[in-house]
Chains A and B, each alone.
Chain A
């Protein structure tokens, strides 16, 4: 009985959170009209996301590309033509590893930062102060962060894809007798332009989940430093899980028709 009661409470709390999140999104969207307020702040946030994350995103993607190429070489040497390595590296990076790894890195880097920043602002009454001055926390704090993420995370994903593919190309040449022509032939053989759009569409949804969840958690922080820590952890864990769920759902919807 206790287990059922706990499960019931858990389900109700889940629905309640979804309701509050929906309300938060609608309330925040109302600030979109105040372009003069959010535009300059969005540019600052976009620069912070882009410049601050570029190195780590490209580094991790480069290693992912190299490992994919090396493992492909190890598994398929002698059994299939070498050009297939080009196909596998490009497909793996662009369809899956580029967008998902970038999103997971940024969930930790950007999501944690946003949740901690806004959580600290909440517990130190800075958000209340903004409201007391008749100013909209949505246009000052939420919209710039969400829009900057929606622009920069797909852009970083494109760069991560390029980094991963280039790294895979260089790595596979070091261990297998694959020529540039083989790799390019393999990359082009199964290439569909839709793959690139799919990669960017996924990144766009991941960006939304990272930034919106982080802002929501930060905004609803309670109980001082401990609350800020809890909001930050919850934001990273929730957005990471949501990225994996969205990855599956979007793959089913966009690729398996």
Chain B
């Protein structure tokens, strides 16, 4: 008379590091999430910058002093890396969404290329920052 109860729908679980062997595409996938999480913090720092700017010169100078300190610069360097990695890997995801670059060889190659781009772009930006007196 009645249907059997529907089976509970189990959400699919993400591949786990104890299940999957390490490979470069796994690293690039994990880094996309890690850098995304870091940029969450970066966006909040951007919001604090805007709020301090709105609060006036004293608050703004305090903010700039904190960000210009050594720990502040370390955070900003990390955020630069995160921005360029997430940007590069984001473009990689968009190419995948177009249905391209899925074969293993290309996926491995673009993993390395994205990492190389992130480091190269970060270095270039910090050299430009040093030359323009931003440090």
Query: A and B, one complex?
Result: no
